[in-house]
């Protein structure tokens, strides 16, 4: 997705923070709603003080009210800045959502006999014809033709992509542009329910619902707030009783009770809770992954089993020739020349790699088909081999071992045992053997190797440290699969996998209590994607796959699943870290305020003033000021997230407690003391030390 203007986001966030002061908005965050009520109440007390009904000095009540209002505004700003990124991204996407004229067909056979209609009038099942330079009117599936499509408006990637009928690259998105050729598509989404509409809704935050973890944490915070509310309510009669019994001092004022409640309530995490979730979704959007729900992101953080396709995920996806292995009596160069000739018209990655290897090893120059006066034999699923027929009766064939065996024996020759052994050896190493024969005589074997991606081993090791099991899924035979799995460093593998195999494997792990993540792009992947807890569908894939998944990768990169899991874990770590920090904060603020409130009436409570604060007044104001400014200080951490480090849950818990637990206790002690040192001289200047 496109980058957003940060300055514009900040300006918009300030405005939104003010708009969020509406009671209907504030009530959705119960913890901050208490602060909101406290701000209104102290404001009323200030007005009452002006009118002569004294609670505390007017300036003191005014300062408390002002700090509380800033606390609410900072909380609103934290949420607004997280939402602002989404709104900015949504605005750029809305520019791509245009009403265009669609060429509606009544029949595929008559492409030029179309009827022009508005894209908003299209219904699911309608057939449309799109030519070069035209905008695709609605989400659909290509049923005829092939075209280059510019999807930069959605993915941010400027390079066009190929979309064609059949296969796993048939899905097209409304709002993208055909830059060459033509396609006929069948509409798969009605107006207002397109992929682009869903993207805008999710990115904008309009479709975001609180996740189960968020709800559970919010219930805990509300419970703690209610407990502190009851405690603070009892302080009024207790302080009056102490005053009457001791005969000195004064009862706790209403302003100070409100201040105490705000300081003791878990306001830090209460203010940042929503923004953490929104920021997590925003980080996923920045990775060009669209989550259909916040629940999916959280599930990604809890995933402990990853199902990964071999091709394109673990390996590069294109096998490459790495060696020529001639049989006895054949020179390696002769084998290389025959392999090169049979691959001249082979435009596959495997075919081009054979040509490159022959040139690299023996400097065999590439010939043109016209010069050779040859006829190229294309590969077919029936014959399972390809080759070339040249003038003079020369035939060269390359293909699967059993296909070449039949070809050789049909010519009256013997298939050498040496070739069988070479084929077996290559298969055991995880490679793909291609046997080459000339005039029905075996020359040798080409070793095609699946190249494991650089750095994939480190990725799997990091996942293993985090307690995540990786399983490679492949259609290869068990021998080849085992070799690739060992080289890549995955924990387990499933060979000769079918869609039914994937589905059953996911169910098996889920029955054992595991959370499973997988990726897919084809219609045959849809059942498994629907069953998985985290299912990342490729944007280039079929409509069925995208509808079955709960995330869509706009880059269509199978390895993105690993990044999705990291972002999910980072979200959970950030929420846990800031919750720990917030609750630890309350412990320190307790020692700042409680002794201060009763010090004048009960001098013995001065022993609890371990922070050595100058006066009860400065103690309360310092704690309130710290409580307000800590929220904007933590906004960058909430937005960026806690740095993810691969480690076990137990180590992560210990690290979390040491940094954010102990740090959460120490920081308020230091912060409140510094603020006290700044404001206590000011209070002395105006002659206000006690209550």
Q: Which of 71, 66, 72 is nearest to 43 (CA)?
A: 66
Residue 533 is among the residues annotated as catalytic for this protein? no
pLDDT at position 207: 47
pLDDT tens, position by position, 511-570: 999 999 988 877 778 888 889 998 888 877 777 777 888 888 877 777 788 888 889 888
pLDDT tens, position by position, 67-119: 999 999 999 998 888 777 666 666 666 666 667 888 898 888 777 788 888 88
Rounded to an integer, what distance in angstroms lies between the CA atom of residue 333 and that of residue 96?
56
Q: Which of 332, 496, 333 is nearest to 422 (CA)?
A: 332
589 contacts 623 by C-beta, under 8 angstroms: yes
689 contacts 617 by C-beta, under 8 angstroms: yes
Among the listed ranges 139-148, 276-285, 337-346, 676-685, which one has the minimum average pLDDT value? 276-285
From 309, 346, 553, 586, the catalytic residue: 309
Rounded to an integer, what distance in angstroms lies between the CA atom of residue 43 and that of residue 55?
12
DSSP labels, 493-560: EE-S--HHHHHHHHHHHHHTT--EEEEE-SGGGHHHHHHSSEEEEETTS-HHHHHH-SEEETT--TTH
Among the listed ranges 40-44, 341-345, 376-380, 394-398, which one has the minimum average pLDDT value? 376-380
Whether 50 has a pLDDT exceeding 70, the answer reads: yes
Q: How far is CA 543 from CA 171, 431, 538, in A?
A: 6, 33, 10
Among the listed ranges 8-12, 27-31, 319-323, which one has the minimum average pLDDT value? 8-12
pLDDT tens, position by position, 417-435: 999 999 988 888 878 889 9
Rounded to an integer, what distance in angstroms lies between the CA atom of residue 270 and that of residue 631?
10
Whether 591 has a pLDDT exceeding 50, the answer reads: yes
Residue 345, judged by CB atoms within 10 A of its CB (0-12, 13-18, 19+), counts as middle
pLDDT at position 67: 93
pLDDT at position 691: 41
565 contacts 519 by C-beta, under 8 angstroms: no
Determine the 3-state secondary structure of 164 from DSSP. Answer: strand
pLDDT at position 94: 67
pLDDT tens, position by position, 447-501: 988 778 878 888 888 888 888 899 988 877 787 788 888 888 899 998 888 888 8
Q: Which of 267, 299, 305 is nearest to 280 (CA)?
A: 299
Supply the mean pLDDT for the chain.
83
pLDDT tens, position by position, 567-583: 988 888 899 899 999 88
Confidence of residue 35 (pLDDT cuts 50, 70, 90): very high
Rounded to an integer, what distance in angstroms lies between the CA atom of residue 431 and that of residue 452?
11
Determine the 3-state secondary structure of 147 from DSSP. Answer: strand
Whether 8 has a pLDDT exceeding 80, the answer reads: no
pLDDT at position 525: 80
The residue that leads in pLDDT, 211 or 26, is 26
**Distance, CA of 107 to chain centre:** 41
pLDDT tens, position by position, 173-210: 888 889 888 899 999 888 777 777 777 776 665 445 66
Tokens for 360, please give them.
Answer: 């690299």
Handedness of CA 342, 344, 350, 356 (dihedral sign): positive
pLDDT tens, position by position, 618-675: 888 888 999 899 999 998 898 888 888 877 778 888 888 889 989 988 999 899 889 9
What is the percentage of the chain residues whose pLDDT exceeds 70?
A: 89
Q: Let me know how long the chain is.
A: 691
Give start and end residues of each alpha helix (H) in 322-477: 332-342, 349-362, 369-372, 401-410, 417-428, 456-465
Rounded to an integer, what distance in angstroms lies between the CA atom of residue 412 and that of residue 441?
9
Rounded to an integer, what distance in angstroms lies between the CA atom of residue 639 and that of residue 312?
32
> 10 Å Cβ neighbour count for 490?
24
Residues 6+ away with beta carbon under 8 Å from 250 = 239, 243, 600, 601, 691
Determine the 3-state secondary structure of 133 from DSSP. Answer: coil
From first CA to last CA, the distance across the chain in angstroms is: 56
Rounded to an integer, what distance in angstroms lies between the CA atom of residue 480 and that of residue 488?
12
């Amino acid at each position: 997705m496109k980058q957003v203007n940060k300055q514009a986001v900040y300006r918009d966030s300030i405005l939104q923070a003010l708009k969020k002061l509406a009671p209907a908005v504030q009530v959705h965050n119960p913890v901050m709603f208490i602060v909101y009520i406290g701000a209104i109440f102290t404001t009323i007390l200030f007005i009452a003080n002006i009118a002569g009904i004294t609670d505390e000095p007017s300036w003191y009540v005014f300062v408390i009210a002002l700090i509380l209002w800033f606390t609410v505004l900072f909380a609103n700003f934290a949420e607004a800045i997280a939402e602002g990124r989404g709104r900015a991204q949504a605005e750029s996407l809305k520019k791509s959502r245009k009403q265009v004229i669609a060429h509606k067909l009544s029949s595929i056979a008559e492409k030029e006999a179309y009827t022009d209609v508005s894209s908003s009038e299209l219904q699911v099942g309608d057939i449309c014809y799109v030519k070069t330079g035209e905008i695709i009117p609605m989400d659909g599936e290509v049923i005829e033709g092939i075209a280059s499509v510019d999807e930069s408006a959605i993915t941010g990637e400027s390079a066009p992509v190929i979309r064609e009928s059949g296969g796993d690259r048939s899905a097209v998105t409304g709002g993208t542009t055909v830059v060459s050729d033509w396609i006929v598509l069948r509409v798969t989404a009605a107006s207002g329910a397109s992929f682009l509409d869903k993207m805008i809704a999710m990115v904008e935050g309009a479709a975001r619902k609180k996740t189960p973890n968020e709800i559970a944490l919010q219930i805990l915070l509300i419970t703690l707030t209610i407990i502190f509310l009851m405690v603070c309510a009892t302080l009024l009669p207790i302080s009056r009783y102490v005053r009457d019994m001791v005969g000195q001092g004064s009862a706790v004022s209403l302003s100070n009770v409100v201040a105490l409640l705000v300081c003791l309530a878990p306001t830090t995490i209460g203010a940042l809770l929503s923004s953490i979730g929104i920021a997590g979704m925003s980080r996923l959007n920045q990775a060009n992954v669209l989550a259909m729900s916040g629940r999916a992101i959280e599930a990604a953080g809890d995933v402990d089993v990853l199902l990964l396709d071999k091709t394109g995920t673990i390996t590069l996806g294109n096998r490459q020739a790495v060696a020529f292995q001639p049989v006895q009596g054949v020179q390696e160069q002769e084998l290389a020349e025959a392999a090169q000739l049979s691959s001249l018209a082979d435009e596959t990655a495997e075919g081009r790699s054979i040509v490159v290897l022959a040139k690299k090893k023996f400097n065999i120059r590439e010939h043109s088909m016209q010069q050779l006066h040859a006829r190229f034999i294309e590969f077919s699923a029936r014959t399972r081999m390809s080759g070339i027929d040249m003038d003079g009766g020369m035939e060269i064939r390359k293909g699967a071992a059993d296909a070449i065996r039949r070809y050789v024996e049909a010519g009256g020759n013997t298939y050498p045992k040496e070739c069988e052994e070479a084929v077996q050896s290559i298969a055991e190493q995880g490679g793909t053997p291609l046997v080459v024969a000339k005039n029905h005589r075996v020359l040798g074997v080409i070793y095609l190797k699946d190249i494991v991606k650089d750095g994939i081993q480190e990725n799997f090791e990091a996942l293993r440290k985090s307690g995540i099991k990786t399983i490679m899924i492949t259609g290869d035979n068990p021998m080849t699969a085992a070799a690739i799995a060992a080289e890549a460093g995955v924990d387990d593998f499933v060979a000769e996998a079918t869609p039914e195999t994937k589905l059953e494997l996911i169910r098996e792990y889920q029955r054992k209590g595991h959370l499973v993540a997988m990726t897919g792009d084809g219609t045959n992947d849809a059942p498994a994607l629907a069953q998985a807890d985290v299912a990342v569908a490729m944007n280039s894939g079929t409509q069925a796959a995208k509808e079955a998944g709960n995330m869509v990768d706009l880059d269509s990169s199978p390895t993105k699943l690993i990044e999705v899991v990291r972002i999910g874990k980072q979200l959970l770590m950030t929420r846990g870290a800031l919750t720990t920090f917030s609750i630890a904060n309350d412990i320190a603020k307790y020692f700042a305020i409680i002794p201060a409130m009763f010090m004048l009436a009960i001098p013995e409570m001065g022993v609890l003033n371990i922070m050595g604060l100058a006066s009860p007044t400065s103690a309360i104001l310092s704690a309130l000021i710290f409580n307000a400014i800590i929220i904007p200080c933590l906004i960058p951490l909430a937005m960026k997230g806690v740095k993810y480090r691969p480690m076990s849950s137990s180590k992560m818990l210990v690290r979390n407690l040491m940094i954010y637990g102990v740090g959460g206790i120490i920081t308020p002690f230091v912060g409140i003391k510094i603020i006290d040192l700044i404001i206590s001289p000011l209070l002395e200047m105006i002659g206000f030390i006690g209550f």
